[in-house]
Amino acid sequence: MDLAERARSALSRAAIRTQLRSEGPPRTTRENLVEWAKAHLPGRKMVVVSNREPYSHQRVDGEIRVVRNAGGLTVALDAVMQALGGVWVAHGSGDADREVVDASDRVACPPEHPRYSLRRLWLTQEDHARYYSGFANSALWPLCHNVYVRPRFRLSDWRSYRRVNRRFAEAVLREVGDEPALVFIQDYHLALAAKFVKEKRPDLQVAMFWHIPWPNPEIFRVLPWKEEVLEGMLANDVVGFHIRRHAMNFLDSVAESLEARVDVERLAVDRAGQRTWVRPFAISVDAEEIAALSETADARRAEAEIRSDLGLDGCKVGLGVDRMDYTKGIPERLEAIERMLEKHPEWRGRFAFIQIGVPSRIELREYRAVQVRARRIAQSINNRYPRPGGPTVQLIESNLDFTELVPYYRMADLCTVTSLHDGMNLVAKEYLSASPDLEGALVLSPFTGAARELERAWIASPFDREGLADACHAALSEPAELGRERMRALREVVLRRNIFDWTLDVLDTIVGLDLRTPARDAAQSAVPEAGPVSG
Ligand code: F6P
């Protein structure tokens, strides 16, 4: 394709998207995304790469069970891969994962109606401990979240992180062979993967999405291997963040640590003849699929069973759904609930709170500490404020399949998302999607990416116990009609920008890239931007 043709093709992409947004429901559907991919990615294999796999196989009572991982990232990207097909490379973490793969370590997904291929990569226990628990979750995770947990930097963890990133890259290269492909890398576990991919295949288009916050350069600069991490990320053609602030922090970190031309107007970095576009793209969920799941007879039945098991009749139900992580503000939220019950006796016996705390990274002491703290506060609330039907706070510490989660979203009168710091937080969006009846309320931390979009939620800081307690009380007490109006407005935000909009924005930016490399700057004025960005 010559330059003029490429420019025409970019113009037609922009025109199609403008049309999509002005006609009918202003959102991208699964079908739109498929059509777009047919037109703009012909012959190019889609390869998604992440540490966590979307489905794992586990042995339960001698039988192999498939679990759809409930993490926001994997649920959201599973919808994309089901639409587009291709290969997803991820760490095989289920205890029966090896039993179901073929000779190339692949398994078709979703297992009940396959649409794409999951290529599992195996890690030794030592590499998992050093790369995942070590560098990713004891160094990068606390470094990127402003929650005052000190990062731990160990050379052995860093070496393992590098080695594992290279292995992910090798798996990608094997899947791609000599073919053209679009590689889409996810998250802080894989900051170096693009560099290893590009060393062998500089022609491949590679993008990365950083799903957690990016700290300001004052914080980032303490990382002993900051230059290598930044260089690894700049091997991508596009680096995405949920919000503009994190994209700007990243650019500032590059400017401070590397010899590079950082263009804050166009959000781009030029270095060694290569350009990386840095963009905010707010991720979302497959709102329609979640709404449909929440309306099924199974979901209604499951809700009725939970209500009866927990004795919830006549009670308002509050809900928290999180990995048991110190960034999620779980103890802070429970303390606020306790304070609400203290201040508002009318809720005693008439309010129950369910906290689903998915066990997470439990090998790390900070994670065990948050679990112990959450249990202690739950116990204290249950002792101080007993409820006739069952416990006032029910802590469910298990890894629920996504479909098992939906009935909880359905029944919650109040969903609390109280992260101390969070890239986006998809629980907020999942809850809104699963509440088509508009019954409910969302209390949301201002320190989540989601709060930038969901402005009509009850915004309350988890660092302010009194304010959070008051927000929970106000949300539960709001007159029904006003509450429904608020929920309608909030749901609309999620329906208008769903996971397919996010994917299209990211992919459209990558596909438009070859028009906008430094070498072609001269031609750029003839070419429109790749589409609206958000965040
Ligand atoms: O919040 C960042 C994130 O990578 C999510 O995108 C994802 O759902 C979760 O963390 C992964 O956690 P885990 O360590 O359990 O895979």
Computed on alpha carbons and rounded to an integer, the radius of gyration of the chain in Å comes to 23
Cα of 74 to ligand 1 centre, how many Å? Answer: 8
Average pLDDT value for the chain: 91
Residue-level pLDDT at 196: 98
- Centre of ligand 1 from the C-alpha of residue 137, in Å: 10
Closest residue by Cα to atom 8, ligand 1, is 71
Q: What is the mean pLDDT of residues 134-162?
A: 98
Beta carbons of 499 and 283 less than 8 angstroms apart: yes
**pLDDT at 467 (0 to 100):** 98
Expressed in angstroms and rounded, the spacing between residue 304 Cα and the centre of ligand 1 is 30
User: For position 518, what pLDDT does the model report?
Assistant: 54
Answer whether residue 314 shows pLDDT above 90.
yes
Please determine, for residue 20, whether its predicted confidence score (pLDDT) is greater than 50: no
Q: Look at 14-23, 97-106, 262-271, 327-336 and tell me which has the smallest mean pLDDT.
A: 14-23
Confidence of residue 204 (pLDDT cuts 50, 70, 90): very high
What are the DSSP calls for 232-278, one per residue?
A: HHHTSSEEEESSHHHHHHHHHHHHHHSS-EEETTTTEEEETTEEEEE
DSSP 144: H
* CA 382–ligand 1 middle distance (angstroms): 30
Predicted confidence (pLDDT) at residue 23 exceeds the cutoff of 70: no
500 contact partners, CB below 8 Å, separation of at least 6: 27, 28, 29, 30, 32, 33, 79, 80, 83, 286
Arithmetic mean of pLDDT, 344-360: 97
Within 6 A (CB) of ligand 1 lie 52, 71-73, 187, 211-212, 323, 360-361, 423
Atom index in ligand 1 nearest the CA of residue 323 equals 15
**For ligand 1, atom 16, which residue shows the shortest CA distance?**
52
Report pLDDT digits (tens) over 393-433: 999 999 888 899 999 999 999 999 999 999 999 999 999 99
**pLDDT at 386 > cutoff 80:** yes
Q: Indicate whether 15 pLDDT > 60.
A: no
Edge to edge, the sheet with strand 393-396 lists 393-396, 351-358, 316-323, 414-417, 442-444, 458-459
Binned at pLDDT 50, 70 and 90, residue 512 comes out as: confident
**What confidence score (pLDDT) does residue 71 get?**
83
How far apart (Å, rounded) are the C-alpha atoms in residues 162 and 379?
43
What is the distance in A from the centroid of ligand 1 to the CA of 172?
Answer: 21
pTM for the predicted model, two decimal places: 0.91
Q: What is the DSSP string of 473-507?
A: HHHHHS-HHHHHHHHHHHHHHHHHS-HHHHHHHHH
Q: Which residue, judged by its Cα, is nearest atom 3 of ligand 1?
A: 211
Supply the pLDDT for residue 503. Answer: 93
- List b or e across 65-80, with b for residues whose CB sees 16 or more CB atoms inside 10 angstroms: ebbbbbbbbbbbbbbb
Instruction: Please report, as a single letter, which amino acid is at residue 488.
Output: R
Interior angle at CA 377, CA 406 and CA 432, nearest 5:
25
CA 78 from centroid of its chain's CA atoms:
12
pLDDT for res 69: 86
pLDDT mean over 292-321: 97
Higher pLDDT, 444 or 273: 444
Mean pLDDT of 292-309: 97
Asked whether the predicted pLDDT for residue 505 surpasses 70, the reply is yes
Identify the band that residue 510 occupies on the pLDDT scale cut at 50, 70 and 90.
Answer: confident
How many CB atoms sit inside 10 A of residue 500's CB?
Answer: 26
Index of the ligand 1 atom closest to the CA of residue 423: 1
Q: Which atom of ligand 1 is nearest to the CA of 361?
A: 14
Q: Which atom in ligand 1 lies closest to the alpha carbon of residue 136?
A: 14
* Average confidence (pLDDT) over 134-143: 98
Mean pLDDT across 111-125: 97
